[in-house]
Amino acid sequence: MRRFAACLAAIAAFGTYAYGAESYTFDASQFEKKPFELGGYLELKGDHFALNRGAAFYQLNFAGIAPRETLDRSTATLKLTGKARAGDWLLTARSHSESVHDQLAHASESRFDELVASWKPTPGFTLDAGKTVLKWGKGYAWNPVGFVERMKDPNDPELAREGFTVLAADIVRSFAGALRTLAFTPLLLPVNSDVNDDYGRHGHLNVAAKLYLLYRDTDIDFYFLNHGSRSRRFGMDFSRNIGTNFEVHGEWARIEAQEFALLDTAGALTRRTQAATSWLLGLRYLSERETTYIVEYYRNGAGFSADQYRAFTALVQRALQAGTQSPLYQRVQTLAPSYGRQNPLRDYLYLRVSQKEPCDILYVTPSLTAMVNVDDKSYSISPEILYTGRNNLELRARAVFLGGGRGTDFGEKQNERRVELLARIYF
């Protein structure tokens, strides 16, 4: 009888099916959970940059270097993921090794993006200790509520990022009724010269928390970060499906004390600390022709006005004329990281249109992404084609065109065009 039951179980886990000339088998026992796992991908990327020699950030970044029209860069990235399990314990490691080479420099880097031990005695409780990636917010291109994470690149929002070292818990409860899920995530984030040294001011044990509710089919989150390495901030977000093909989402964040380094039109610098409110509204729509539209409007409360940004670019020109040893040039170099960060101005519009498998060509997804700076009307337009038709291979070709003229956000970037070819091999 036992032998019969074992035989039945084996048959249940194994199946063969013939379709056309092909015979398909499925043996579920091949997919048993393992105590150790190793996987990852190798990414090879080639970039061709057409440099914008008149732009402020070209002149700053290429000061003292022979003028160039183009730059070619090749990047090899290896990302390994490993997991080890023992009872209720799970150790997760995600490494990142990168080698970048172009005509001007060669650089290599290796780090752990994630190295965290988790204890999960029940699906309703988890304790994480170590370096992990916490991603807060519902926005696709931006996350104003991302208080405890490294900044997302809106040009590649799905790119894996490096985490911070934390002690965090997840406490989850499910209910019947209008409130379906309630989850509370408190966390501690220490900052000193050895741990999370790039997060903010050293010598603080930062406390943050997230409260998540699934209430009346709407995801709602509330966020909090205490005053410490960064000023106190709080926020919320929501996301909801309206129909089978339409989703809306939004985020709102308040930073109690944001530091601004402001320039007037004469180039005089004022440092000011004041509250800043950022928000985002977005939607995702799938048409009957399977075209996906993602639209987001982002108000960056910590951003500069178009006039302030223009004043900075004018100051760069004056500083270059004064020479790289001049105090004015040194002041510009001090301000450059703030003005040169991703999306430094106040109002942005993001649109991504992607067409799934056009003309019945499976696994091919062409898309077009546009980012417009509403304040100065500068823009970035990026056509892209992605192919995922072969198992464990992803191929992507992308071009990026920036425009807007002198004194504008995208018009003063280092590059005016970029072509990228990427191959990702998973194992």
Partner 1 sequence: MSRKRTTMASLLVALLFLALSPLCLAAGLDAQDLLRKVDRNLEPESYEMYRKLINVEPSGAKKEFVLYSVKKGNDKVVALFLEPASDKGRSTLRLGDNMWLYIPNVGKPVRITSLQSVIGGVFNNADILRIDYAAEYVASIEEEHKDTLVLMLKAKTGEVAYDRLKMWVERKVLLPVKIEAYAASGLLIKTLHFKDIKDFGGGIRRPAVIETDSPLYKGYVSIMLYAGIKARQFPDEAFTLTNMHRVEELRK
> Rule CB under 8 A: which of 245-284 touch partner 1?
245-247, 249, 284
Using CB under 8 A as the binding rule, whether residue 212 contacts partner 1 is answered as yes
Residue 272: CB minimum distance to partner 1, A: 34
Using CB under 8 A as the binding rule, whether residue 239 contacts partner 1 is answered as yes
Using CB under 8 A as the binding rule, whether residue 98 contacts partner 1 is answered as no
Among 241, 265, 273, 274, binds partner 1 (CB under 8 A): 241
Which stretch, 20-28, 314-322, 332-340, 405-413, contacts partner 1 (CB under 8 A)?
A: 20-28
The interface with partner 1 within residues 146-205 (CB under 8 A) comprises 157-161, 170, 172-174, 180-181, 183, 185
What three-state secondary structure class fits 380?
strand
Using CB under 8 A as the binding rule, whether residue 39 contacts partner 1 is answered as yes
Q: Which is nearer to partner 1, 180 or 202 (CB)?
A: 180
Using CB under 8 A as the binding rule, whether residue 393 contacts partner 1 is answered as yes
Using CB under 8 A as the binding rule, whether residue 291 contacts partner 1 is answered as no
Using CB under 8 A as the binding rule, whether residue 391 contacts partner 1 is answered as yes
Phi/psi for 358 (5° steps) reads -65, 150
The interface with partner 1 within residues 397-426 (CB under 8 A) comprises 424, 426
Using CB under 8 A as the binding rule, whether residue 121 contacts partner 1 is answered as no
CB 353 within 8 A of CB 291: yes
Q: Which is nearer to partner 1, 249 or 346 (CB)?
A: 249
What DSSP state is assigned to residue 358? G
- The beta strands (E) that lie in 123-217 are given as 125-132, 164-174, 179-191, 204-215
CB 142 within 8 A of CB 279: no
CB 323 within 8 A of CB 330: no
Using CB under 8 A as the binding rule, whether residue 328 contacts partner 1 is answered as no
The interface with partner 1 within residues 62-81 (CB under 8 A) comprises 81
Q: Which is nearer to partner 1, 44 or 104 (CB)?
A: 44
Using CB under 8 A as the binding rule, whether residue 46 contacts partner 1 is answered as no
Cα–Cα distance, 104 to 106 (Å, whole number): 7
Residue 123: CB minimum distance to partner 1, A: 4
Cα–Cα distance, 82 to 346 (Å, whole number): 40
Buried residues in 180-198 as b, exposed as e (16+ CB within 10 A): eeebebebebbbeeeebee
Using CB under 8 A as the binding rule, whether residue 1 contacts partner 1 is answered as no
Cα–Cα distance, 254 to 144 (Å, whole number): 9
Cα–Cα distance, 20 to 59 (Å, whole number): 63
Q: Which is nearer to partner 1, 189 or 263 (CB)?
A: 189
Using CB under 8 A as the binding rule, whether residue 105 contacts partner 1 is answered as no
CB 348 within 8 A of CB 281: no
Q: Which is nearer to partner 1, 58 or 212 (CB)?
A: 212
The DSSP line for 237-284 is EEEEE-STTEEEEEEEEEEEEEEEEEE-TT--EEEEEEEEEEEEEEEE
Using CB under 8 A as the binding rule, whether residue 217 contacts partner 1 is answered as yes
Enter the tokens of residue 88: 């209720």
Nearest to 162 by CA among 232, 75, 98: 98
